[in-house]
Structure 1
């Protein structure tokens, strides 16, 4: 990441990322990773989540940029909405890229009924580098949906095979491959 300090903001999804989740493990292993605290993990509201993300980006001084996001599930949709509808040009300029893992489809039956305002998903090109990582058997978002998002967002698309929702149950441990993909975004 150049000679500057890495600022990685972790954006978990619905109900946060618990013990054993690759996001939680990254945060425990490296002080450069900071979790964005959402106002209500169990009853997500798009506006509140996007404003929390905006405040987290604002808290990083421009001199400490670039910022990279490590987003999972509903955190991915939060980034897409934030970039297209909430962020100022100055805020966007701080962001080098985003790793978007397990993008959920609001039309899927498993999508959390408590999540408010996350549809329709914005399909504008993201103003920073991005990688969408998908599983072939994710119950929250199928391959065609994640590929469509990746294409619209201008993202590289990576298939990790049958890994479910790419969470703690997926057995990824510290998931070094994904850390490498994230690091590539800040260069």
Structure 2
């Protein structure tokens, strides 16, 4: 199954952890503790690259980086295999690019992963598990600037819809949340940005 996922997730390596394997760089169970330092480091990296880091942008990127890999792997598994992957945070960790701090790998541990033969039911169960975990992370994520519930929970929904669009080969859907990349010098709103509507 991992080989099937890797074919569909070209920019994200998927690993299955064996007993005793360490977590990758960011265990989702520790996301809320790790995120403030990651946001600060990402802000400093953005300033070094672009000369500025507009308020809210580092927090938006870190939130997206926390939940996008979870959405991508769970949605892809539900779409291309007969399995619903368990979404409990303790089963997941994310490996980051050492320079630019974006996700490059996802590791999942054995858990209550289950076979569901009905495709509609499989997607519904997969989404339910993902939303429970990603929604908690999004709602409780400590950020240095205010982040609205629309932005937080919109990001949860957006990452799921984007993951399904990718696996189907569809264009990016319209987003409810904004990554704020347009606020960097020389950047424009990304595909699906709510500012374009």
| TM-score, normalisation: structure 2 | 0.31
Please state which structure has a larger fraction of its residues in helix. Answer: 2
* Higher alpha-carbon Rg: 2
User: TM-score when scaled to structure 1?
Assistant: 0.32
Which has more strand, going by share of residues?
1
